[in-house]
Amino acid sequence: MSGLYYDHQLTGRLIVVEGIDGSGKTTQALLLQQWLAAQGITVFFTEWNSSLLVKSATKRGKKQNTLTPTTFSLLHATDFADRLCYKIIPPLKAGMTVIADRYAFTAFARDTARGADPQWVRRVYSFAPKPDIAFYFKVPIQVSLERLLNARMKLKFYEAGMDIGLSRDPVESFELFQGRVLDEYDRMAEEFGFHVIDAKLPIDAQQRQVRAIVNKTLAKYLKQHRTVVPDQTLGTLQRAIVR
């Protein structure tokens, strides 16, 4: 049975943020990091697909469009394993709070959307420890699409699922592919106990919900590790991130 179904025994705490592209999860993760750090909580932030181990292979495969869904899945699993060993487990053993911008659940959603067997993908990631908190920032496809196109005028090839031939039109392909991904996240919400946040809400309203959940769920841990009382507003934290 996968470790994702059992509480880990590590000293630190693992907080995960998930959601489709354009959900705003990264903004919320960074705000949470700033808030925890302001309380004297030592935080380590880590992102999906950030390992140097397979970066060149993944980049080459994407450029040449030679990645099959299975190859894509295994490359990301290798990336995740390296990230887990060097950027997640060590800080947790040291008693730190780790905030992971995407976790194994991203693979469960995307790989299944590309046609992989859901149980096979779960077995591939069976070594992953269960997060203490997993946030799922839920947003409609059209809102996600609008945000991405406002930020940059072109959708990314794999972001739009162009590699699996759903449509030759990037926007239509994005809607179809991310719709599949969204369906998978919705199915996983109960299976893995996600805290679902309405990502259409204003940024500060979402962050208040996130903080309330963290305060309640990790109350004992935060009390033991908190060294200062914060005196910063959300607006101050947002400006700090922009700088």
Beta strands 43-47; 195-198: pairing state:
unpaired
pTM of the model: 0.89
More confident residue, 192 or 152: 192
Rounded CA separation 91/159 (Å): 30
Which phi and psi angles does 45 have, rounded to 5°? -105, 135
Residue 66 has pLDDT above 80, yes or no: no
Q: Which of 215, 243, 193, 177 is nearest to 97 (CA)?
A: 215
Average pLDDT of the residues in 48-60? 77
174: pLDDT confidence band, cut at 50, 70 and 90? very high
Q: Domain-by-domain residue ranges, the chain?
A: 3-226
Give the residue, 58 or 191, on which the prediction is more confident: 191
DSSP state of 194: -
The pLDDT score that the predictor gives to residue 225 is 86
- Write down the pLDDT at residue 70: 87
Fold of 3-226: Rossmann fold (3.40.50)
Render pLDDT for 130-145 as a digit per residue (tens, 0 to 9).
999 999 999 999 999 9
